[in-house]
């Protein structure tokens, strides 16, 4: 009866444990569904935004590339224009050098000719190289008339024409050439100026375009990376959305399935509890107990306990026989069968010998099977034990790491809280110090204004006394202010006093000087104190700002470390849970090994020795049967059978 009651308690306890697990699972269903809904909603909002950002970024990238291409084209065009302008400038400079050189040479020849003619040394001039140069110039000149050209040529040839006429023609030619040279120089200078302006403008344009190209190139690279990242984010978001939707559907399905299974479990458990309760009630009935007393001798025996014990032993025995497939007991039965065959009269020895050979081979194979089974069990135990120890060490390390991380989390939280309180207190101190500084500054300004006014009033009073007592020291005020004091009519005048006798004003004036000096001293001290207080305040503000920045940075660092520690606890906790599950599975596997291997390891030696003895006996029996005379064996066998 106690066994039924224990079963009833176990069923109820298991129900409570299953209820707790079911409640946790359903809580997971609710929280998981909420988290998935939020994740799906967030992804649904993020995906269109990412798509729009990618589209805008791609459009901007295309525009940037077009702008870059245009800037590169414009820069190339500007550089080409600079190259072309430089080539033209060099060509113009070469032409200018030649033209101006020719003009200068010709002018020099003209000047020499004119000077020689005017001096009456025309004949000597005609023998010089300048005369040959002049002759060529005259022949090629377009500015001379044919008559003038003929006269000058004739003169240069034989000096037949009048020198005065020739000198005039040459001077006219010189004036024309000088004018031409001026025009050429002016044109060259204008060309140089235009070239310099063009080069300066194009250089500025190239510099601006180069800066724009560099900026756009950098931006194109950055934008390209941003677009790739956004596409990856979009792909990740879409993948996450699909996974979340799939997981949400699976979660809903699994949760519904689990609810249905739980309803069936509850129904089955209720039926089992009811069946156990009804059975206990039946067995506890007075009539049933009276019947058990009559039918079951031994009042202390429990009917239910005996029934369950026999069934358990039978199940274990059948399981062991099924796993081993063979055993010593079965071999003895075969040996008994062989002995029975020997006792029989119809079975010949040849058949018995064959039976013995078969039995020996079977026992050898069983021994090999036992050896292999023992080796397998020992190796499996060693491997499982090593794995268990490794998992236990890992479990210990993880528990230690989690404990240390939790201590670090507590420490970080305390330190962050302390830093936060310190920052609040520091801000409060700064506010109070700022208010105090403002008040002190206001007091200083008020003091300076009041003292300055008092000084001016005392100086005014002193000056007024000087006007009476020391007129020479009196200083007329820059501006006269008349104060009209209207008094009521006092009536008839009383008797007038006698002549006034001046008092000694020096003491009052000295006292006023002393007061002014004291005011100056007070103002000087106030200025020094104000300066010192301001410097101390600024130093305190700088120190407070530095400390606040350092504390804020420390809070950020400790917050990051706190987050890392919390993440470590979560990750290590998951790893610990996984390790503990694996350790539990390893323990279960070791338990299964014990159930599978304990028997073979415990009875291996006994079975081997017994089997060796039986094989030896069989071999001896075979030897006896094989070597004995048939009739003798028959007689011996008959005696053996009679015995």
Residue among 217, 211, 198, 216 at smallest CA distance from 78: 198
Q: Is the pTM of this model over 0.75?
A: no
Judge whether residue 380 has pLDDT over 60: yes
Rounded Cα gap, residues 458 and 445, in angstroms: 20
Q: Give residue 196's pLDDT.
A: 92
Which DSSP string do the residues of 6-55 spell out, in sequence order?
HHHHHHHHHHHHHHHHHHHHHHHHHHHHHHHHHHHHHHHHHHHHHHHHHH
Give, in order, the Cα–Cα distances in Å from 374 to each of 185, 371, 448, 480, 592: 119, 5, 108, 132, 15
Rounded Cα gap, residues 357 and 348, in angstroms: 15
pLDDT band at 7 (very low <50, low <70, confident <90, very high): low
Judge whether residue 117 has pLDDT over 80: no
- Kindly tell me the burial class for residue 281, based on how many C-beta atoms sit within 10 Å of its own C-beta (0-12, 13-18, 19 or more): exposed
Q: Give residue 498's pLDDT.
A: 36
- Each as own residue / partner, the long-range contacts of residues 361-365 (CB below 8 Å, 24 or more positions apart, any chain) are 362/326, 362/331, 362/334, 363/331, 363/611, 363/614, 363/615, 363/618, 364/615
Judge whether residue 502 has pLDDT over 80: no
Judge whether residue 494 has pLDDT over 50: no
Q: Give residue 551's pLDDT.
A: 87
Task: Give the CB-side neighbour count of residue 414, counting CA atoms within 13 A.
Answer: 6
Judge whether residue 197 has pLDDT over 90: yes
Q: Give residue 410's pLDDT.
A: 92
Q: Give residue 285's pLDDT.
A: 65
Q: Give residue 560's pLDDT.
A: 85
Rounded mean pLDDT, 344-356: 63
Judge whether residue 277 has pLDDT over 60: yes
Q: pLDDT tens across 559-605, in order? A: 888 888 888 888 888 899 989 888 898 888 888 888 888 888 888 88
Q: Give residue 128's pLDDT.
A: 65
Of residues 270 and 640, the one with the higher pLDDT is 270
pLDDT band at 80 (very low <50, low <70, confident <90, very high): very high
Window from 63-67, 297-301, 487-491 with minimum mean pLDDT: 487-491
In a 3-state reduction of DSSP, which class is residue 141?
Answer: coil
Rounded mean pLDDT, 306-316: 35
pLDDT band at 300 (very low <50, low <70, confident <90, very high): very low
Rounded Cα gap, residues 29 and 7, in angstroms: 32
Of residues 504 and 260, the one with the higher pLDDT is 260
Rounded mean pLDDT, 481-503: 37
DSSP letter for 473, please: G
Per-residue buried b or exposed e for 73-85, using 16+ beta carbons within 10 Å of the residue's own CB: ebbeebeebbeee
* Contact assessment for residue 418 and residue 585, using Cβ atoms and an 8 Å cutoff: no
Rounded Cα gap, residues 419 and 410, in angstroms: 14
Q: Give residue 130's pLDDT.
A: 64
- Angle made by CA atoms 61, 67, 71, in degrees to the nearest 5: 140
CA 438 to chain CA mean position, Å: 45
Judge whether residue 164 has pLDDT over 80: no
Most confident by average pLDDT, 65-74, 448-457, 490-499: 65-74
Judge whether residue 528 has pLDDT over 90: yes
Judge whether residue 118 has pLDDT over 90: no
Of residues 388 and 464, the one with the higher pLDDT is 388
- Kindly tell me the burial class for residue 328, based on how many C-beta atoms sit within 10 Å of its own C-beta (0-12, 13-18, 19 or more): middle
Percent of the residues in the chain that have a pLDDT greater than 70, as a whole number: 71
Q: Give residue 147's pLDDT.
A: 72
Window from 8-12, 289-293, 571-575 with minimum mean pLDDT: 289-293
User: Is the C-alpha dihedral spanning 294, 297, 299, 300 positive or negative?
Assistant: negative
Of residues 110 and 257, the one with the higher pLDDT is 257
Rounded Cα gap, residues 288 and 451, in angstroms: 120
Give, in order, the Cα–Cα distances in Å from 91 to each of 202, 362, 443, 491: 20, 118, 82, 116
Q: Give residue 312's pLDDT.
A: 35
Q: How many CB atoms lie within 10 A of CB 181?
A: 17
Of residues 141 and 79, the one with the higher pLDDT is 79
Rounded mean pLDDT, 117-126: 63
Judge whether residue 342 has pLDDT over 60: no
Q: pLDDT tens across 433-454, in order? A: 888 888 888 888 888 888 887 7
Residue among 517, 535, 520, 545 at smallest CA distance from 441: 535
Q: pLDDT tens across 594-609, in order? A: 888 888 888 888 888 8
Q: Give residue 390's pLDDT.
A: 92
pLDDT band at 481 (very low <50, low <70, confident <90, very high): very low
Of residues 146 and 122, the one with the higher pLDDT is 146
How much helix, strand and coil, in percent to the nearest 5, is found in the chain?
Answer: 90, 0, 10
Percent of the residues in the chain that have a pLDDT greater than 90, as a whole number: 11
Of residues 301 and 340, the one with the higher pLDDT is 340
Q: Give residue 170's pLDDT.
A: 77
Q: Give residue 77's pLDDT.
A: 93
Rounded Cα gap, residues 406 and 565, in angstroms: 7
């Amino acid at each position: 009866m106690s066994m039924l009651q224990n079963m009833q308690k176990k069923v109820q306890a298991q129900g409570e444990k299953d209820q707790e697990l079911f409640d946790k699972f359903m809580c997971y269903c609710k929280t998981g569904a909420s988290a998935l809904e939020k994740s799906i909603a967030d992804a649904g909002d993020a995906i269109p935004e990412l798509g729009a950002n990618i589209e805008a970024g791609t459009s901007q990238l295309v525009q940037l590339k077009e702008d870059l291409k245009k800037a590169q084209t414009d820069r190339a065009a500007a550089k080409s224009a600079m190259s072309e302008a430089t080539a033209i400038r060099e060509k113009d400079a070469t032409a200018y050098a030649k033209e101006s050189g020719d003009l200068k040479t010709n002018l020099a020849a003209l000047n020499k000719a004119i000077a020689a003619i005017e001096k009456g040394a025309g004949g000597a001039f005609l023998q010089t190289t300048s005369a040959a140069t002049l002759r060529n110039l005259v022949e090629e000149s377009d500015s001379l008339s044919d008559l003038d050209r003929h006269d000058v040529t004739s003169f240069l040839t034989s000096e037949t024409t009048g020198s005065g006429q020739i000198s005039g023609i040459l001077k006219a030619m010189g004036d024309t050439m000088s004018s031409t040279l001026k025009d050429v120089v002016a044109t060259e200078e204008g060309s140089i100026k235009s070239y310099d302006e063009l080069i300066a403008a194009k250089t500025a344009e190239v510099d601006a375009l180069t800066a724009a190209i560099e900026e756009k190139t950098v931006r194109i690279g950055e934008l390209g990376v941003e677009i790739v990242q956004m596409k990856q984010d979009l792909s990740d978001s879409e993948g996450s959305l699909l996974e979340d939707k799939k997981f949400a559907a699976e979660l809903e399905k699994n949760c519904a399935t689990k609810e249905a299974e739980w309803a069936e479990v509850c129904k089955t458990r209720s039926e089992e509890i009811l069946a156990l309760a009804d059975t206990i009630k039946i067995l506890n009935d007075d009539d049933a107990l009276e019947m058990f007393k009559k039918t079951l001798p031994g009042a202390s025996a429990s009917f239910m306990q005996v029934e369950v014990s026999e069934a358990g032993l039978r199940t274990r025995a059948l399981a062991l026989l099924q796993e081993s497939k063979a055993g010593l007991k079965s071999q003895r039965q075969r040996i008994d069968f062989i002995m029975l065959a020997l006792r029989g009269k119809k079975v010949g020895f040849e058949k018995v010998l064959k039976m013995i050979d078969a039995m020996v081979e079977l026992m050898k194979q069983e021994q090999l099977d036992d050896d292999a089974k023992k080796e397998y069990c020992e190796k499996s135990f060693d491997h499982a034990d090593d794995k268990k120890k490794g998992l236990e060490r890992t479990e210990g390390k993880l528990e230690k790491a989690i404990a240390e991380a939790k201590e670090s989390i507590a420490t970080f939280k305390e330190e962050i809280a302390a830093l936060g309180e310190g920052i609040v207190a520091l801000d409060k101190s700064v506010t109070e110090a700022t208010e105090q500084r403002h008040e002190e500054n206001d007091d200083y300004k008020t003091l300076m204004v009041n003292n300055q006014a008092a000084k001016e009033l005392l100086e005014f009073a002193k000056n007024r006394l000087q006007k009476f007592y020391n007129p020479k020291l009196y200083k007329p005020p820059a501006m006269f202010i008349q104060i009209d004091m209207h008094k009521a009519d006092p009536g008839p005048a009383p008797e007038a006093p006698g002549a006034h006798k001046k008092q000694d004003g020096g003491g009052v004036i000295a006292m006023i000087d002393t007061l002014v000096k004291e005011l100056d001293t007070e103002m000087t001290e106030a200025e020094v104190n104000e300066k010192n207080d301001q410097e101390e305040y600024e130093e305190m503000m700088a120190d407070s700002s530095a400390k606040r920045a350092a504390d804020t940075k420390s809070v950020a660092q400790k917050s990051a470390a706190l987050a890392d520690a919390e993440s470590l606890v979560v990750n290590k906790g998951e790893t610990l849970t996984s390790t503990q599950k694996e350790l539990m599975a390893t323990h279960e596997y070791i338990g299964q090994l014990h159930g599978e291997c304990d028997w073979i390891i415990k009875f291996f030696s006994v079975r081997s020795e017994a089997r060796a003895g039986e094989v030896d006996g069989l071999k001896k029996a075979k030897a006896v049967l094989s070597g004995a005379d048939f009739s003798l064996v028959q007689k011996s066998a008959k005696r053996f059978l009679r015995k």
